[in-house]
Structure 1
């Protein structure tokens, strides 16, 4: 037998052995809902096939596996995820054993555009940045600035735009409107600059477009083994090329903002966060331009898309549940000058919480593992694994939220005394959980209530017939096709 025929014999025998192993493993897995583990490729094919419906895919698998499963990527890759939506696991990782689950180097590699900012930071760096941000954002002057910016943008930008759309009888993408609104507000809060992206012309703002492209590239990295996207980055291919170009635009905008803010600081004080950090650095002397750059890009990510996403899903749910919309509107009309603050808008607050439960702006969280240990759900995690928490899936689990988990029911957030009911953050993760709980929670609710009250009081919003609303596969939970609506003025006598 010559060498070539010997090679092909060994090759075919190897293929048959792999096929036998695959079929045997598939037969004995015990749960047909688990993605198939293919030879060499692991579960990656299932992920690629379902990437357009990523959040629902994970929900289906988690629902069939008791809220936890292990995702195996291609052989010899580091792509191994412990995927869960079990509140016991969440509480363990984010609270009970917080130090064993850092963001880790894998996270900061994927989110490298955020630099050394608070989202990527661990240990002392994270703690120091959090203390500083908490101190600055808790200042009464900044809280007043948040309310003032939100009111002014709603009154001078959002409402005039919707009045024009109503008068013309045209359709509008409400998701685009809200993202532009929150982009302008967040830019003002962070940089002290209003880019006026919310205007009748719907202009393209390079900085906003760059942020969108960066987030799309980061999601793409989550669906590939790290060696693959790093190779694409090295040769500037596909999404990695888009990310590199977006990075330049983002850095240019922030660099100009820092220079402008430093130039104005000694002549006219400002209330925005960048000015506050610069003022603090004048006292401490420890804030470089890189620190300011990383801090502000993290603040923009935290404040811009998340609030815009929350508003979009909230109004969509009201459109689908008119009886709830009527209750929210009745409360708003009975409240004198609703401001988005205080406890007067209990039902509106409950409806917003319910929308955030069903459609959390950040649909999944990620953690690394420092030391191997057994999780409360009974599966073990090891260093090198990534722990993924699907907050989107958590809302859709009967064992967590009951048989009505898929229903939009604000009443679940109101207690017997008529006040807002508290739910533990490891069950309701819209604002993260534990030591890393979102510092901007009150800022977000101020904006959400201000916008919701103003729009609902004056307009009726109806989704265009036949328009399909579905979650996009994205880092922030956007709508894949936007939210096409018609807007009409309400009769003041109704």
Structure 2
């Protein structure tokens, strides 16, 4: 079968080569570090060469840019893309000129087959409605319930027994897969009142999970197609990756449809049933259109399953490489055997700092793109034309020396802490959200931020108290950071689990 992307790149390369031979011309760079841009094909050759490490490539370019911004020139017919790691620009985009930078048509079109009009792919009144309905899920009462019921049950009834068995048998687990299962069960319980049992002891191989992974990956790959027309043609003729995407989305939507149908039946049979979960509130709000509700369900699965599991995967990798941080974590864990699980987790300052530090280096969402609704000028002087894509890049921002100092590459939770000399304890000091936009900022700041931290801290305390996580990798091996809609560790995270004596201390 002909590789359509390869054929297009070959033809574009030939055209550009002929042009260059005749004119000995290429578009000048705005700085010596920007990708070389050629007539017709823009920077496609560099983009293609770095297609498996775009985040790392962008970070290198941005770290050398005097403004922390560069323009990624796309082929003729494509929208040009501004990439920035400048906090002033991020604040401008996410807050000051929020209305001028919506998701936009390009983002909406690229992800509409998978996410539909769900909150991550919505603008305007649709986005406002979904955010308003969803916000009830994250009040203090709901958060306490989330930690003390859903997370506790999943942790003690499923995750810890699986890790204990792996430790007893000296077997290898893919911790990335385990954490995805854990997070998936949690989001389904709290948001939909449904337990998929994905982290059951047998670790069932579900068609939905495979389809969901395919849908996320292929939808994300659309963004990096040399020309959007490529994936659109493949979709039109139902071939290649677009055929696979169509099949995957069908499976995902069928799964979500079943959740919605069961919830409708449950509400119909018991009209006095309290709306204790997000899905019930959506259906009781009068929105009975299945497609709209399914879109919201899928968006919540993306948010609840992929982001927290990605953050924890990289976190346990970093802990395994930094024994001094692990030691400090264990000291804090031993000091928190309080009666209230919610308060115990909430007050774990060093653990909170270490999670922030981990996400600085390995953000669950490494980049986010908006589309300019009108002409503008960014604070650093970059000119924006209507329709241009503007991407802020948390992955690169966590690696900027001017933002984090010469020791930016070090995993250092202490950079988030300040010692209270009077009480002799650490206090957490949050960073400017536009310097650290891991959870976005401004009107679209992540609603689930506190819930995510509570869940992650509970997992960290529950796991590290009992086990040591040991990566099964050759000495010196560095896992590869990959990103689709969210980040991944390439080829999973194989580990062995070792029981530690500290596990004898109970959490109750």
**Normalising to structure 2: TM-score of the pair?**
0.89
Tell me: CA distance 1:216–1:324, structure 2 relative to 1, closer, same or farther (3 Å): same
1:50 — aligned with what?
50
1:221 paired residue number = 222
1:381-439 per-position Cα deviation (integer Å, ceiling 9, x unaligned): 11121111111010001011111111111011112432110212111111111000000
Match of 2:83, SS state, is strand
Aligned partner of 1:290 in structure 2 is: 291
- Alignment partner of 2:379: what SS? coil
Task: Report the counterpart of residue 364 of structure 2 in structure 1.
Answer: 361
Tell me the SS of whatever aligns to 2:260: helix
Counterpart selection for 2:487 from 466, 477, 482: 477
> Aligned partners of 1:256 and 1:448: how far apart in 2?
29
Pick one of 449, 452, 469 that aligns with 2:457: 449
Following superposition, the deviation at residue 14 of structure 1 comes to 10
Match of 2:117 in 1: 116
**Cα distance change on mapping 1:410 and 1:14 into 2, 3 Å:** closer
CA contact (8 A) 1:219 1:474 kept: yes
CA distance in 2, matches of 1:238, 1:297: 24
Local SS of the residue matching 1:351: helix
Q: Does structure 2 conserve the Cα–Cα contact (< 8 Å) formed by 1:137 and 1:143?
A: no
Contact kept in structure 2, 1:354 and 1:408, CA below 8 Å: yes
Moved more, 266-275 or 245-254: 266-275
Paired residues for 1:65-464 under 5 Å: 65-66=65-66, 67-75=68-76, 77-112=77-112, 113-138=114-139, 140-141=141-142, 143-224=144-225, 225-265=227-267, 266-267=269-270, 269=274, 271-278=276-283, 280-281=284-285, 285-337=286-338, 339=341, 341=343, 343-417=346-420, 418-464=426-472
Q: 2:137, 2:277 within 8 Å by CA — same for their partners in 1? A: no
- DSSP-derived class of the 1:472 partner: strand
Pick closer, same or farther for the CA change 1:103–1:465 going to 2, 3 Å.
closer
Matched residues in 2 for 1:325 and 1:108: separation?
42
TM-score by length of 1: 0.91
Q: 1:169 to 1:430 in 2, by over 3 A?
A: same
* Structure 2: unaligned runs, 5 residues or longer: 1-13, 421-425
SS at match of 1:196: coil
Q: Distance in 1 between matches of 2:118 and 2:347?
A: 36
Superimposed CA distance per residue, residues 10-60 of structure 1 (whole angstroms, 9 cap, x where no aligned partner): xx9997653364x5437x537443222133211112111111112101111
Q: Do the aligned residues in 2 keep the contact of 1:468 with 1:481 (CA within 8 Å)?
A: no
Q: Contact 1:142–1:271 at 8 Å: present in 2 too?
A: no
Greater alpha carbon shift after TM alignment, 295-304 vs 122-131:
122-131
* Mapped partners of 2:146, 2:240: distance in 1: 41
Q: Does the 8 A contact of 2:467 with 2:500 survive in 1?
A: yes
CA distance in 2, matches of 1:428, 1:450: 23
Displacement of 1:377 = 1.5
Q: Could you say if the C-alpha distance between residues 15 and 48 of structure 1 is closer, same or farther in structure 2, counting changes exceeding 3 Å?
A: closer
Once superposed, what is the RMSD of the aligned Cα atoms?
2.2
Runs of 5+ consecutive residues of structure 1 not aligned to the other structure: 1-11
Which residue is 2:5 aligned to? none
Instruction: Tell me if the contact between 2:103 and 2:371 (Cα under 8 Å) persists in the aligned partners.
Output: yes
